[in-house]
Amino acid sequence: MTDVDDDAWREIAAQWTFAPGVTYLNHGSFGPPPRMVLEAREAWLRRVAGNPMEYLTRGIEQDRYLGEARQSLAGLVGCSSDDLAFVENSTVGMNIVANSFSLRPGDRVLATDHEYGAVLRLWEVACAKAGAELVVRALPYPIESDEALVAQLFAECDERTKLLVVSHVTSPTAVVMPLEMICAEARRRGIAVRVDGPHAIAMRDVNLPSLDCDFYVASLHKWLCAPFGTGFLYVHPRRQAEIKPLVISWGRTPPGATKSWRDEFFWLGTRDPTGYLCVPAAIEFLANVGWERFRERTHLLAQYAKDLIVELTGLPPFVPDEVQWYGSMIALPLPEGDAPSLQRALVRRFGIEIPIIAWQGRRFVRPSCHLYTTRRHLEQLRDALRHLLAEKY
């Protein structure tokens, strides 16, 4: 066990400054960068403004600065930088996959009922266009074992099932999926896998080649704390030939380099590259803290949140209390009631920013814990919920 004591983390927590009166427990939706990353961004903005030709033309054409940033990211997720393209966020990455993956009439795309709403929506559109069908499969509730989860997910698959859409860490329910087992089962059945991974980067130790998925998309502005508007698309080499961009621009290969699927992604018209250029600074920040130390501290906080809220509501979590199933964020059941009005009351009356989630007829509170989170913040949440639930919110 590493230090669970809030005092030991005070200096690191001081890297973040929130608006007065705000208790921020929603890193899972939007993870603000620490001061060190904000300063790196300012420095890059000044360099780019000092000579746009170097950073927006020659540097891009020769894949210099962004190439170094991609190398740093590739080191974090264990793959070749040739298999990665920067995109603004998971949503864009996912749209690129949906625009590229060939579906025929009668084909099926399988998804779990824990997927992010916008992801289900974009696959509905892609399936409707192709005359294919999106099948949303309910997973066991409560979740008790990875074997039972995997068996239920694949129970009704057949030769029509061409693609599986699955989160690494789910959005409404914060479940860490048994992804290795899911990918292995999909491979055994000849089903391509597209992973939605924005919550997993930094929260988990991600090694893309060992997952052997076909596509993996992620946002880096969540747990990694890179600037907002930074994410990536990973495409396994066996799939790269079929990838099509959403935006057509010059599509140039850097001089001396061999032609690559990424040629279509490194110039999409004039844009601000400084967010991507700060990805190495975000990686360095958490590497300096220590990846396992970060994960352990934030998991212990999530576990503390669970203890407080379960004691308040009497409603047990729906995943086993093990780090295999949840990391730095946890979704805890609340008594029945309206989710948006409770979320609004938490902000308005207590200054607490946290999602209250309505999912499959249930209501959850989803605290996120990062390095600025303290046990006091979680106790404030418990006390505010106690007030509001007593008022029948």
Q: Which residues are at the interface with ligand PLP (CB under 6 A)? A: 29, 89-91, 116, 119, 167, 171, 196, 198-199, 219
For residues 212 and 333, give the distance between their C-alpha atoms in angstroms, rounded to a whole number: 34
Residues 6+ apart with CB under 8 A from 57: none
**Which contiguous run of DSSP H or E holds residue 382?**
helix 375-390
R_g over Cα of the chain:
21
Between CA 50 and CA 72 the distance in angstroms is 24
DSSP structure string for 273-299: -HHHHTHHHHHHHHHHH-HHHHHHHHH
Distance of closest approach, residue 123 Cβ to ligand PLP, in angstroms: 12
Rounded least distance, CB 223 to ligand PLP, Å: 11
Distance in Å, CB of 90 to ligand PLP, minimum? 4
Q: Give the C-alpha separation, 208 to 190, whole Å.
A: 18
Pick 29 or 152: Cβ nearer ligand PLP: 29
Q: How far is the CB of 49 from ligand PLP (least distance, A)?
A: 26
Burial of 158 per CB tally in 10 Å (0-12, 13-18, 19+): exposed
Closer to ligand PLP by Cβ: residue 63 or 196: 196
Distances (CA, A) of 149 to 145, 182, 238, 373: 6, 9, 28, 31
Output 255 or 340, the one with its CB closest to ligand PLP. Answer: 340
Nearer to ligand PLP, 185 or 196 (CB): 196
Residue 29 or 240 having the CB closest to ligand PLP: 29
Interatomic CA distance for residues 122 and 285, integer angstroms? 34
- Structure tokens that stand for 148 in this block: 């039972």
Structure tokens at 211: 């997952």
- Would you give the DSSP letter of residue 220? S
Question: What kind and span of H or E run contains 185?
Answer: helix 179-188
Question: At its nearest, how many Å lie between ligand PLP and the CB of residue 61?
Answer: 28
Q: Which is nearer to ligand PLP, 108 or 114 (CB)?
A: 114
Distance between CA atoms of 201 and 203, rounded to whole angstroms? 6
CB of residue 270 vs ligand PLP: minimum separation in angstroms?
A: 22
Least distance between ligand PLP and beta carbon 67 (Å)? 23
Residue in the structure block whose two tokens are 């850097």: 254
95 or 374, CB closer to ligand PLP?
A: 95
Using the minimum distance from each CB to ligand PLP, give the nearer residue, 51 or 360: 360
Output the smallest distance, CB 119 to ligand PLP, in A: 6
